Amino acid sequence: MFLCPICKKEMRLPKCSCGHSVEKRNGVWQLSDMPDMVKDGDGDKYIGYEDIGEAYSGNRKYVIEEEHALIAAEVSAYTGDGIFLDLACGDGFLTVPCAANGTRIVAGDISNHMLSILQEKASRNGVSLENVTLCRMNALDIPLTDACVDVVVANSVLHLISNPEKVIHEIYRVLKPEGVLLCLDDAPSQQNEDPFDNSYYHEIVNSLYATYWERLAAYGIRPVKYSWRFDRATVCDKLFRSRTEKVIPHSGTYKFPLRDGFLPRFCGRGFSDQTDVPKPVHDEVIRALMAEFREKYGDDFDATAFYGNYNDILMTIYQK
């Protein structure tokens, strides 16, 4: 089911009949030699998370969230004894709980570092990856043969690629007839009004964010938002045979302290608009900023939490 990165013909890992041997580095098949990110030039651009991945999920990167287990149950049920392609799988929010369900998975991402976090997450949760083939791959050029997978999820990645239409066409190509692309969104809240007052949390976050970029402006550094617009419905409705929707119920309240979410991500340069900030300058500005905020808001200001109600999850199912 794999395509050789050199001759582009079908191959069995690790050795292609053209003579190329695919390297397996730290458990990950190296099926692309494209850069970790491409920000400039005339060709397709994308933002891989090799540099910002460590901080992407804050302090919860090894936690299997209840919400993710709920989604994984659906993905595993759709996959049955077929194959699930977790495209741009990141740190494995779906791959790990789906692997725990015994699902056969190809998990691909352009970032080896994200794939290593995925492996650590599996190991810390006692989940075996024996049914999972981990691949460094580019979603713009999926190294899989036509019609070989049953289910694809490409969550939170299409906005990071300048040519998302091409990715959707690649997904369509690798899906078997009647295979499905599953898309996940928050379902609109059932609550009429938000019962929580998060104004103190917002005050701190907004102030941190504004002060950080003010300080960096003195160095001539500004935030650059790497994100491309994409109208999923228009592209997918044209290509796929059918679209249906399913709501996965998810209720309850969550509490997200600054120290678990926003702060480790922000201080670890984990937001994509921080991509161009050089680490030494970032570290210096953050050091000063944290001292000032502890002074102003108290030593345990990082315990300030955001409270919210979970939304149901809306799953859109595009069938080939």
Ligand X SMILES: C[S@@+](CC[C@H](N)C(=O)[O-])C[C@H]1O[C@@H](n2cnc3c(N)ncnc32)[C@H](O)[C@@H]1O
Q: Which does 89 bind (CB under 5 to 8 A by kind): ligand X, Zn ion, none?
A: ligand X
Sole binder of ligand X in the list 21, 26, 156, 242 (CB under 6 A)? 156
Q: Which does 6 bind (CB under 5 to 8 A by kind): ligand X, Zn ion, none?
A: Zn ion
Q: Which does 18 bind (CB under 5 to 8 A by kind): Zn ion, ligand X, none?
A: Zn ion
Q: Which is nearer to Zn ion, 9 or 39 (CB)?
A: 9
Q: Which stretch binds ligand X (CB under 6 A): 21-29, 42-50, 210-218, 237-245?
A: 42-50
Beta bridge partners of 317: 182, 244
CB-count exposure of residue 190 (10 Å: 0-12, 13-18, 19+): exposed
Q: Give the C-alpha distances (Å, rounded to integers) separating 131 from 76, 105, 107, 208.
A: 13, 6, 10, 43
Residue 105, interface with ligand X (CB under 6 A)?
no
Beta strands at 132-136 and 104-109: parallel, antiparallel or unpaired: parallel
Q: Give the C-alpha distances (Å, rounded to integers) separating 12 from 21, 33, 98, 105, 176.
A: 10, 18, 24, 16, 19
CB 166 → ligand X: shortest distance, Å? 10
Q: State the Rg of the chain over Cα.
A: 21
**Neighbouring residues of 85: CB distance < 8 A, sequence distance ≥ 6:** 105, 106, 108, 142, 144, 149, 151, 152, 153, 171, 174
Residue 171, interface with ligand X (CB under 6 A)?
no
The CA distance from 297 to 312, in Å, is 34
Residue nearest to ligand X (CB): 90
The CA distance from 33 to 292, in Å, is 43
CB 111 → ligand X: shortest distance, Å? 4
Q: How many CB atoms lie within 10 A of CB 30?
A: 15
Q: Which stretch binds ligand X (CB under 6 A): 76-84, 110-118, 143-151, 171-179?
A: 110-118
Could you give the string, one character per residue 119-148, with x where binding to ligand X holds by CB under 6 A and - elsewhere? -------------------xxx--------
Positions in 62-101 near ligand X (CB under 6 A): 88-90, 93
CB 317, CB 243: distance < 8 Å:
yes
Tokens of 93: 């929010």
Q: Which is nearer to Zn ion, 7 or 247 (CB)?
A: 7
Positions in 11-40 near Zn ion (CB under 5 A): 16, 18, 20
- Residue that the structure tokens 């053209």 belong to: 18
The CA distance from 314 to 320, in Å, is 19
Q: Which stretch binds ligand X (CB under 6 A): 103-111, 124-132, 171-179, 250-258?
A: 103-111
Residue 73 in 3-state DSSP? helix
Sole binder of Zn ion in the list 3, 4, 89, 183 (CB under 5 A)? 4
Residue 54: φ, ψ to 5° = -55, -40
Sole binder of ligand X in the list 1, 105, 114, 149 (CB under 6 A)? 114
Residue 157, interface with ligand X (CB under 6 A)?
yes
Sole binder of ligand X in the list 1, 4, 31, 48 (CB under 6 A)? 48
Q: Which is nearer to Zn ion, 48 or 143 (CB)?
A: 143
What residues make contact with ligand X under the rule CB under 6 A? Answer: 46-49, 88-90, 93, 109-111, 114, 138-140, 155-157, 160-161
What residues make contact with Zn ion under the rule CB under 5 A? Answer: 4, 6-7, 16, 18, 20
